[in-house]
A and B are shown apart, each in its own frame.
Chain A
């Protein structure tokens, strides 16, 4: 019992730690390190997003997407011709699908979308 009392007393003594004079500055140092880590993390995620976007866009450009779009355009024209007697409403397919301009527009939209998503992700984190 005496043993236990003494152990409790020691525990209390350990808990009664005096407040150090520089408690405030110490906390500020820890917060600065937290902020620095946070900023570094944001930059890292941002840089990774930009690199990923550039790689994605370049992959899109480097692939045979132009040929595929051209082929899709041809197919659309063929389809349009086939169904033109049914409806003239399908003409827009050929208009939109033909040409490489649409690829650039799509790539631009993809990059904008990626930037938007990245901003949201950083905001959420």
Chain B
């Protein structure tokens, strides 16, 4: 039974599952996918991928991670490692489809809708990210969602480091305006409920 098959892995730590996957235990790796699949797909969607596209890239990222599992040293979390792989794969796909150049060359609108959101929308990062330009969204998500450094993001995007920093800074400013209400308390309060 599938339930029985997976139950023996359910209580194991990610590092243990990685060790099992490294010796070819595919079911242990499946448990890792079960645990972190949504987070990886979420990062890709926040980078601007459509749902189906995000799923494809996330699948490829997990397969790549399985192939390269021996390279995972446990220095960071497994999820962060796969997110980085996924972010790079997504950028490669954009490059292949010749979309990346258009995205990064896109003019950034300074006057985007940065009105503070109402309390109900305040915690919705997805909604808040929509006020960012595509390239700002990419940069912010890569640095804060996928955990890439500014330098790594610049290299992956083939942009100067200063440009990436500017996009991140501008994106954060827009998010701050959008996410943080005047009192600054709504966000924390809502997170506590989640």
Contact = CB atoms under 8 A, between A and B. Distances in A.
Interface of B: prevailing SS: helix
Interface size class, chain B: 20 to 34
Interface stretch (B37-45, B95-103, B155-163): B37-45
Interface size class, chain A: 20 to 34
A70 interface: no
Nearest to B187: A9
A26 B26 contact: no
Nearest to B6: A27
A30 B33 contact: yes
Interface of A: prevailing SS: helix
A23 B141 CA distance: 21
A79 B176 CA distance: 96
Interface string A20-50: 1001101111110111011000000000000
Contacts of B187: 9
Given A9-B187, A13-B123, A27-B37, 13 more contacts: A6-B172, A10-B140, A14-B46, A17-B39, A20-B41, A20-B42, A24-B34, A26-B55, A26-B58, A26-B59, A30-B30, A34-B26, A34-B63
